[in-house]
Structure 1
Amino acid sequence: MKYTCALFDLDGTLLDTEPLYAAINQEFINLYGDGKNYDWETRKQVMGKSAEYANPIIIQTHHISKTKEEMVKFKKERLAQLCEEVKPFPKALEILKFLKQKGLKVAIATSSAKTIFETKMKKNQELLQYVDVVVCGDDSSVHHSKPAPDIFIRAAELCGEKDMSKTIVFEDAINGVEAGLASGALTIAIPDIHIKDDPLFNRVPIILESLKEFKPEMIGLEGEI
C-alpha cells in the first residue's frame, strides 16, 4: 500500500500538552468544583474531544459552579499564560520532515478550537513548515467531534485524498484512536501508560511507546529519520 497523507492529532501526539491541560483543569476544579483529583477515569473520557463535549463532562463530574463557556474562557487565559511551556515531543519535527520529503501530504487534525491551536503554536512554528493542512475542532465542516471520524476524513479531503485506506492517522487518545479506526485509516497509536490497557488498543495495528519508536518501514517507506 502506498500512503498519500499522514494525519496527526496535536495534543499528546505532536505536542506535550496533556500534563498542562490536566493541571489547568485541576486548578479550575479546585477553584470552582469539588476539589477532588482530576483522575484518569475522567481524563480518558475527555482526551481527544473538543471543549464543547469535554468541558460538560468535567463540570458534571466535579460539580463545578461555572458554565462551559466560563470554563473555556478560564482555560484560554491560563493557556495563553503558560503556552511557552508547550514543546513538541522528541522526533515529532523529524517525522514530519521525513514524511514531507517522501512526498506525503501532512495534516494536523486537532479537536482544539482555532484560537487555542494558534496559541499553542506560537512557540512551535517550526512544526508548521512541514504541514500542508490544519483542521480544528470548530471548523464548520466538522460536524461531529472525535470519536467520530469526521475531522480525519475532512483533513484527508483537503490533502486531496478521498480513499481513507491510503491515509495514516497518528493518535494518542482513546477518542482519537477510535476516530482513526472508524475513518478507515491505518491508525498508529501512542497511548499514555495510564490508558494503554484499554481494550480498544487490541484493534490497533501499530502501537508505539513514543514517537521515537516510529520506523519508516512500518508504513512501507525506506530511509532513516
Structure 2
Amino acid sequence: MAAPRPAPPPQPVTHLIFDMGGLLLDTERLYSVVFQEICNRYDKKHSWDVKSLVMGAEKLIVHLRKHGIPFALATSSGPASFKMKTSRLKKFFSLFSHIVLGDDPEVQRGKPDPDIFLACAKRFSPPPMEKCLVFEDFPNGVEAALAAGMQVAMVPDGNLNQDLTTKATVVLNSLQDFEPELFGLPRYE
C-alpha cells in the first residue's frame, strides 16, 4: 500500500477559523465544571479554574487581535450546547468576529462536508475563501476544511492514530506550538 502524500507546505493566509470542541475548550473539564456547579447547589466546593478551560488559545487570540487579523469560530454545536459550553467564557468568545453554529441555515451537511467552513468564510468581508487557515482537532474537520479549499492546522488528541493526521497542513501538539510566521502572519514578539 502506498504511503499517503504529505500535505503541501504552508501558504500565506489572511483569516483564521477555529473549531471549538476539544480544540479551544477542554470540553471534558468543562463538563466537570458544569457538574460541579450543580454540586454547588448542594453546598459542595467549586475547585476548578475556568481560565484553564481555554486550551492554550488565549495567547494566540490576543496576538491575532493585536495585529488586526480576523478570526471566527465554526462549531458543529447547536445553540443550547454552545451556550452551556461557553456561558462562563463570554468575554473570550466575544473576541471572535463571528460565530457559525451547526444549526446555521447555510450548514446543510455536517463535517466532513465543507458547509460550516464555507459559511463561516463567507461572513468575513470580503470573503477570503482560499486564504483561510482552519484549526481543527478531528479528521472529519480536516477533511471538511480541505474540501472548502482551506489549509488546516491540526491539534489532534494524543490517542489519535498518526495516520489520521497526514492530510493536515501542519500538526501541532497544542495551540501554543503554532508558529504564525509559517503562514505569513506576524510572529510572536
Question: What is the TM-score when the length of structure 2 is the normalising length?
Answer: 0.78
Percent of residue pairs identical: 35
Superposed CA deviations along residues 47-89 of structure 1, whole A, max 9, x for unmatched, are xxxxxxxxxxxxxxxxxxxxxxxxxxxxxx979849x966110
Q: Does 1:14 align with 2:19?
A: no
Superposed CA deviations along residues 37-56 of structure 1, whole A, max 9, x for unmatched, are xxxxxxxxxxxxxxxxxxxx
* Secondary structure class of the residue paired with 1:140: coil
Matched residue pairs, number?
168
Q: Does 1:215 align with 2:182?
A: no
* Secondary structure class of the residue paired with 1:188: strand
| Alpha-carbon contact 1:3-1:104 (below 8 Å) kept | no
Structure 1, unmatched stretches of 5+, are 24-76
Q: Normalized per residue, which structure has more helix?
A: 1
Q: Which amino acid aligns with 1:12?
A: G
Deviates more, 1:125-134 or 1:170-179: 125-134
Inter-partner Cα distance in structure 2 for 1:121 and 1:217? 30
* Secondary structure class of the residue paired with 2:68: coil
Q: Which amino acid aligns with 2:74?
A: A
Q: Which residue of 2 aligns with 1:88?
A: 54
Q: Which residue of 1 aligns with 2:82?
A: 117
Inter-partner Cα distance in structure 2 for 1:18 and 1:182? 29
Structure 2, unmatched stretches of 5+, are 1-10, 40-45
Inter-partner Cα distance in structure 2 for 1:170 and 1:140? 22
| Alpha-carbon contact 1:80-1:119 (below 8 Å) kept | no
Q: RMSD of the TM alignment (CA)? A: 2.5
| Alpha-carbon contact 1:4-1:161 (below 8 Å) kept | no
Superposed CA deviations along residues 159-208 of structure 1, whole A, max 9, x for unmatched, are 124442200100001211111111111100000111142x3421212000
Question: What is the TM-score when the length of structure 1 is the normalising length?
Answer: 0.66
The alpha-carbon distance between structure 1 residues 19 and 177, as it changes in their structure 2 partners (threshold 3 A), is: farther
